[in-house]
A and B are shown apart, each in its own frame.
Chain A
Amino acid sequence: MNPFWSNIFHKKSEADSLISFLRSLAIFADLGRREMNFIASLVHARRYAPAETVFETGDPGTGMYAIRSGRVAIFIRHPDGHKEQLAVLGPGDFFGEATLLAPARRTASARTLEDTELVGLFRADLLEATKKHPNVTNAILISLARILSERMQAAEMEIRQLRAALRLSPPPAGSEEGNGLP
């Protein structure tokens, strides 16, 4: 994007806006200007048409996507064919970050709802960058670990609450939908 003999006074507004977008993401919040420049060279910006599949359940997952503009629906396809929508994400949200570190299949599907611009960060690039700029990838990984552990704690709290609710609820609910619960 930046040829050897390009005009050094001509700043690319596209690259600048990409950097300012990346800066607004929670994962890259702690990084400085120089590191942001490096990350901007690491990510892939891609455009999606409305109702285009980003990934399906079971796809090999290799990284995360952040939404720069547009909206993305996250859903699960049930065996009987009907879709259960889990979330609709908008600009500034990101998804798929669980597979950034460990190779795994996607556990849900993602599909765009309108013209959407996504910014992808993938494991291969992150691993490659670890060799060159360990400090930058360190910062990314630490904030990623923080986000993941926050999510895990939230999920644990939720599980605990659900368990508590389950323990309390069976006697009244048993008459209505007792056959549905194991």
Chain B
Amino acid sequence: MTPKPELTRVHLLLFFFVLAAGIAVGLSLFSSASTFLTLIRTATSGLFLPLLLSLIASFLLGPIVSFIERENIGRTLSIFLVYLLVAMLLLLAAGWLSPHWHEMWNSLRTDLPRYTAKFITLLRDAQDNLQSRFPYIESYDLTGRARTLAEQFVAQILVGTPKSALRIGSLLILVPLFTFFFLRDGNLILRTCVSLTPNRYFEMVHDLSSVVSRQMAEFIRGRLFEAFIVGLVVTIGLSFTDIRYTPILGIFAGVTNLIPYIGPLIGMVPGILIALVDLGMGGQFWWIVIVYFLIAQVIVDNFILIPILISRYSNLHPLWVLLAIIMGGKLYGVLGMIIGVPVASIIKIALLEIRHYRNTFALPDTVQDLDRPA
């Protein structure tokens, strides 16, 4: 105990230096790591969307390529054949749409402000109605806010579409390229990743990865097919009426159908709004409402498609769906909202598979633990 007072000063100094050095090292490490992370982030910033789209495309085209490959045609050649097929389909679709497209775009440009104006008057009527019934509600400038929001939205669509055409152009080059390599070497990439695991866990990881990727592919294919069918049903249903922009509304309904619970509601807003403005509250309007709600959502989607295509397995709790949509929206905007739920479902599928595996089989390390006490 005697050296204690003697040592304190030196030790304190030493301790101080060590602490200072530790903090300095920590800070420099942190800053270098964060600059490194920002470097990585800037380097990969534009890649997320094309990579994701090409992954989805390769999941979609994979079965077709395998089907062609069965006829003893090489994989590369079969991919090229599938590409040729897809290109022909796209050309046909473009040829069918292009005469209407320009005209439709121009009329939409004049019509959009009209629809939003109508929407705002509807909103104002509703508010007036509400206030006349409940006069004690403080007058909140709902219409003003809605108007600025709507104007911003319209301006964004009108200005942003040509601008985003540039991005779409780069996607048109990148996505087919990435898809080609995913289709050709996807298995090899997965194999290489799996082969990095240690020998002891290799077999298990290999089996799990194949199960999870199969489930994932089935899920993505199911969801996209479901969206396609719903879009088609809406398009056909709307084409019986005099409503304009039927193809656009169908596509919109299909795309938003990828978001569960909320998506279909968003998808039917423009259709019902246009019907209300152009057609009034007649029989056609109610037919459109029935098409959206009863035929597309309840009968086709809930009674026919979901039970066939999507297993209950990948169903998320509505709370998770909301969280996924909000977080996806924060990260990547509207696209993130569409992607968020499928990504969350894929994570759920992976976790469930791993748990199922753990329950059916004892994992290697637990087996050894069981051995020891015996």
Task: Spell out A's residues near B (CB within 8 Å).
Answer: 1, 4, 44, 46, 48, 52-63, 77, 79, 81, 103, 105, 120, 122-125, 128, 131-134
Determine whether the beta carbon of A53 is less than 8 Å from that of B200: yes
Chain A residue nearest to B371 (CB atoms) is A77
Give 3 nearest A-B pairs by CB, closest first: A124-B210, A60-B361, A62-B207
Determine whether the beta carbon of A132 is less than 8 Å from that of B69: yes
- Chain B contact-residue range equals 20 to 34
Chain B residue nearest to A105 (CB atoms) is B361
Report B172-210 residues with CB < 8 Å from chain A CB.
184, 187-188, 191, 195, 199-200, 202-204, 206-207, 210
Mask for B277-301, Cβ within 8 A of A = 1, else 0? 0000000000000000000000000
Determine whether the beta carbon of A60 is less than 8 Å from that of B211: no
Determine whether the beta carbon of A59 is less than 8 Å from that of B206: no
8 A-B residue pairs with CB within 8 Å: A44-B191, A46-B202, A59-B203, A60-B357, A62-B206, A77-B371, A124-B211, A134-B70
Given A46-B195, A58-B361, output 7 extra A-B contacts at Cβ < 8 Å.
Answer: A44-B195, A55-B203, A56-B371, A62-B203, A79-B374, A124-B211, A134-B70
| Separation of A105 and B362 alpha carbons in the complex (Å) | 9
| Separation of A55 and B364 alpha carbons in the complex (Å) | 8
Distance in Å: Cβ of A160 to nearest Cβ of chain B = 34
Report B322-374 residues with CB < 8 Å from chain A CB.
357, 360-362, 364, 367-368, 370-371, 374
A48: chain B residues at CB < 8 Å are 199
| Separation of A125 and B206 alpha carbons in the complex (Å) | 9
Given contacts A44-B195, A132-B69, whether A122 and B203 have CB atoms under 8 Å apart is yes
A63: chain B residues at CB < 8 Å are 203
Chain B residue nearest to A63 (CB atoms) is B203
Q: Does B66 contact A (CB under 8 A)?
A: yes
| Separation of A4 and B203 alpha carbons in the complex (Å) | 29
Distance in Å: Cβ of A129 to nearest Cβ of chain B = 10
Mask for B56-78, Cβ within 8 A of A = 1, else 0? 00000000001001100000100
| Separation of A44 and B205 alpha carbons in the complex (Å) | 13
Tell which of A44, A54, A56, A61 touches B206, judged by Cβ atoms closer than 8 Å: A44
| Separation of A158 and B211 alpha carbons in the complex (Å) | 38
| Separation of A10 and B73 alpha carbons in the complex (Å) | 23
Distance in Å: Cβ of A25 to nearest Cβ of chain B = 19
B76: chain A residues at CB < 8 Å are 4
Determine whether the beta carbon of B199 is less than 8 Å from that of A46: yes
A57: chain B residues at CB < 8 Å are 367
